[in-house]
Amino acid sequence: MKERPGCDAGEDLWRAPVPVDVDPVEWLRMSIDADRWLTRHKLVSPREASLALFGCNPDDARAADPLGRVDAPLKSDCKRLFEHLEQVKNADLRVHRTLTDWWNIARTEDLNYHPLFDDVMQTFLISEQKGNTAVPRREKPIRMSQQQENKILHAITELGYKPRSLPQNRPGIPGVKAEVRSYLARCLTSSGFRKAWDRLRDRKQIVYEVEQNP
């Protein structure tokens, strides 16, 4: 499991120093304006979610340099989180997510975020359960085809490429597609990989540089 920054990493984890007489979790909850951004029907963009997960108010996403709100030691991790969440969003533009949804993605995929955000979420979920006795609606599981596509897009990024700007194949040298297929050999069958790659190509989520408009 990837090591997540801990509370002993210093005050750089905080957007501002926490007053001695204030509970750190409550301070973080106020910093991100949790009462507004964690509501059930509040849809959140990847950029807004990334800021919240790093202890900043998501309203800062509208700033010219939103990631500039994140403390310098954590900025690269926040950027990495944003790029991953953006990739998840682009995998299916029809799906809209709440901050809780993005937190679940970051948590299950072991991405770095503020070490006390889990505590904020647990407090929110407990209060939500107390105020809502209705049976929660079960979310639809992610389709197998979408899982395959997400794995390919993630692998492309992990290998240092941009899905919408892949280098053109050169004669006699294995291209990006072959590299990604090898990278995912244990995760996807050849047939599953080929079909998922073709779907992404058809939807222009995978594009080679020579195919881009001038």
Cα–Cα nearest to 32, from 60, 63, 65, 66:
60
Determine the pLDDT at residue 185.
87
List Cα–Cα distances, 39 to 42, 58, 82, 129, 141, in angstroms: 5, 13, 21, 13, 22
Beta bridge partners of 98: 43
Determine the pLDDT at residue 142.
57
Determine the pLDDT at residue 212.
62
Instruction: Let me know if 107 is exposed, middle or buried by CB neighbors in 10 A (0-12, 13-18, 19+).
Output: middle
Q: H/E element holding 198? A: helix 190-202
Q: Does residue 9 contact residue 71 with C-beta atoms inside 8 Å?
A: no
Residue with tokens 């053109």: 168
pTM for the whole thing?
Answer: 0.52
List Cα–Cα distances, 96 to 41, 100, 121, 186, 206, in angstroms: 10, 12, 19, 30, 21
The ranges of the chain with pLDDT < 50 are 1-20, 133-139
